[in-house]
Amino acid sequence: MERYPPWKWPTVMRIFAAKHLDETVRSKSTSGGVFVALCEYVLGLGGVVYGARFDQAMRVVHDRAVSMDECARFSGSKYVQSDMGSCYRLVREDMQAGRRVLFSGTPCQVAGLRSFLELSRTVGNLLTVDLVCHGVPSPMIWAAHVGFIQAAERSSLLDYRFRDKSAGWHRSRHVAVMDRGAISNHRVDAFREVFNFNYALRPSCHVCPFARLDRVADITLGDYWGVGQHFPDFDDNRGVSLVILHSEDGSAAFDAIRDHFSLIELSVEQCLQQPLQAPTPPSPQRAAFWRAYRQGGYEAAIRRFTSYGLIRRIARGLRRAIREFMS
């Protein structure tokens, strides 16, 4: 674990494709389940973990965890900018109290934490994990999506899986867990398109200085999408993590958990994907999407810019045709 200061931009030391050997862990994780093993490692040393979870209002917030039960809420990517709340100060208090800390977040959140700790000259044991990051959608649009689904389904949203793998990792879909049960339909799926088509990422994501292989964190985690091309036999459609080790501390932590995984060591060329090379470009329709949202609200925007609108038109046409046929 790293002693602070000094600040440094770590380089890449080793890169792996990793699959957790416990299938239950992998099924609940976005990719190969590396994050869960890191939590177990740090908690086993008496440490604490910071990550992103949903709060009761389904906002995405950062929080502190001291048990695996609490860490379970961090599992699974939430494709929304998380609210850091007072977590930076809590990390500092934990470090000052001599606790080991695992902090996970987007690259900019890890860089923000490190700047905060450096400015306050905090010294302690910190392991940082960041993500290969496509960009984070606006919390305002996410809140609008939550309100839209709850109103349409006349039911409360209890949980949301942005990457449900029940139909396979390659065909993962959005699933909303309502108090009436889990659903995945064209309304829920609209947010997948809002995210994937880059309509509502934060403007800063499009000029992100961390969209590169070198990172501020000790370890970078991502989905290893190159597995099908480079190692098709390793791809069982249940999720493979990309693990990029940047520092001695990251390397030591990963060596301590590596027995939990099937692993392949990768070259830089085998791991590259777009967010490791350049920021995600905005959709050419980004401004029009926001205009539609401001003028007519969330449903008007997704009706115009996602397949939600097309599916509604087809359903309406079918209903009209059936009515005419029956009359």
Ligand X SMILES: Cc1cc2nc3c(=O)[nH]c(=O)nc-3n(C[C@H](O)[C@H](O)[C@H](O)COP(=O)(O)OP(=O)(O)OC[C@H]3O[C@@H](n4cnc5c(N)ncnc54)[C@H](O)[C@@H]3O)c2cc1C
The answer to whether 102 contacts ligand X (rule: CB under 6 A) is no
Binding window for ligand X (CB under 6 A); candidates: 31-39, 143-151, 250-258, 303-311: 31-39
b vs e for 185-199, b when ≥16 Cβ sit within 10 Å of the residue's Cβ? bbbbbbbbbbbebbb
The answer to whether 247 contacts ligand X (rule: CB under 6 A) is no
Exactly one of 82, 128, 172, 220 binds ligand X (CB under 6 A); that residue is 82
The answer to whether 106 contacts ligand X (rule: CB under 6 A) is yes
Q: What are the respective helix, strand and coil percentages of the chain, to the nearest 5?
A: 45, 20, 35
Altogether, the residues listed in the chain come to a count of 327
The SS3 call for residue 123 is coil
- Scanning residues 133 to 192, which ones bind ligand X (CB under 6 A)? 133-134, 136
Q: Which ranges of the chain would DSSP assign to H, the alpha helix?
A: 23-28, 34-44, 68-71, 87-96, 107-119, 139-153, 186-196, 227-230, 248-257, 268-271, 286-296, 298-305, 307-326
Strands (E), 237-284: 241-245, 261-265
Exactly one of 101, 176, 194, 221 binds ligand X (CB under 6 A); that residue is 221
The answer to whether 125 contacts ligand X (rule: CB under 6 A) is no
The answer to whether 79 contacts ligand X (rule: CB under 6 A) is yes
Exactly one of 27, 75, 150, 307 binds ligand X (CB under 6 A); that residue is 75
Exactly one of 80, 101, 146, 208 binds ligand X (CB under 6 A); that residue is 80
* Contact residues for ligand X, defined by CB under 6 A: 29-35, 51-52, 60, 74-80, 82, 104-106, 131-134, 136, 221-223, 241-242, 273, 275
